[in-house]
Amino acid sequence: MDFAQASCTEFVTVLASNAPVPGGGGASALVAAIGTALGNMVGSLTVGKKKYADVEEEIISLKAKCDKLQADLLAQIELDAKGFEPLSKAYGIPRDNPDRDRILEEATVVACQVPVKIMELCCEALDAIAVFAAKGSRLAVSDAGCGAVCVKAALQAASLNVFINTKTLKNRELAEEMNKKCLGMLDKYCALADEVFNTVKDGFFQ
């Protein structure tokens, strides 16, 4: 199944099954794409409005960036499934096979790559959403807040799909390098997402 092309019902049904994919990585990518699209919608509702003429060029540029981010995130759904496949097969190698540890190590590194990429795309999306929230149409600002919440959740979820694998790596130097990178993204961008959410929320009570 091409998970990025599947219906919502098909995706959720397979996600809930005992099939090895899609899993947390693919779900994270989908949620991030949805969150990015929510921010992008704010941009769409801003462009062409006289009230926001002074920021229109910036918003149009951000919309183009988010169009690409959405496509890239949706592509990660299938890429994550493909990236996990070698690891799924490696777990089935008999323990007395002398190549098992090497194959498992290599497959684990591969399985980390797409979730890390998803996190990087989430960070880019949150940067854009923060601008949409600050400068976009006030009539749709709640959607920017929703987008920030969704992308934050995707960022956190994707990180867990990295950490479950770095925990088992024999190459601890590589594991700690990946962990440090991911923890850095979490620290910076969860805070940004919370800032966007709280600014949007508090704006409704002023």
CATH number at residue 174: 1.20.120.680
Q: Residue 206: pLDDT band by 50, 70, 90 thresholds?
A: confident
Under 8 Å between Cβ of 134 and 39 = no
With respect to residue 160, please indicate whether it lies within any of the assigned structural domains: yes
Q: Residue 42: pLDDT band by 50, 70, 90 thresholds?
A: very high
With respect to residue 114, please indicate whether it lies within any of the assigned structural domains: yes
pLDDT at 173: 98
Under 8 Å between Cβ of 128 and 35 = no
Tens of pLDDT, residue by residue over 127-161, are 999 999 999 999 999 999 999 999 999 999 999 99
Q: Around 39, how many Cα atoms within 13 Å sit in the side-chain half-sphere?
A: 39
Q: Give the C-alpha separation, 192 to 35, whole Å.
A: 14
With respect to residue 123, please indicate whether it lies within any of the assigned structural domains: yes
Rounded to 5°, the CA angle 102-108-111 comes to 145
Q: How long a stretch of residues is the chain?
A: 206
Structure tokens at 8: 């919502």
Q: Give the C-alpha separation, 153 to 164, whole Å.
A: 17
Give the range of the structural domain holding residue 143, as residue numbers without chain letter.
23-203
Taking residues 22-47, report their average pLDDT.
97
Q: Give the C-alpha separation, 60 to 123, whole Å.
A: 19
With respect to residue 135, please indicate whether it lies within any of the assigned structural domains: yes
Tens of pLDDT, residue by residue over 161-199, are 999 999 999 999 999 999 999 999 999 999 999 999 999
> Which is nearest to 113 in space by CA: 83, 85, 88?
83
In the predicted structure, residue 9 carries a pLDDT above the cut 90? yes
Q: Around 27, how many Cα atoms within 13 Å sit in the side-chain half-sphere?
A: 17
In the predicted structure, residue 34 carries a pLDDT above the cut 80? yes
pLDDT at 20: 85
With respect to residue 17, please indicate whether it lies within any of the assigned structural domains: no
Tens of pLDDT, residue by residue over 74-111, are 999 999 999 999 999 999 999 999 999 999 999 999 99
Q: How many domains does the chain have?
A: 1
Under 8 Å between Cβ of 32 and 125 = yes
With respect to residue 10, please indicate whether it lies within any of the assigned structural domains: no
> Which is nearest to 6 in space by CA: 36, 32, 27, 35?
27
First to last CA, the chain: 48
With respect to residue 113, please indicate whether it lies within any of the assigned structural domains: yes
With respect to residue 14, please indicate whether it lies within any of the assigned structural domains: no
pLDDT at 3: 81
Q: Model-level pTM greater than 0.85?
A: yes
Radius of gyration of the chain (CA): 19
Q: Residue 2: pLDDT band by 50, 70, 90 thresholds?
A: confident
pLDDT at 6: 87
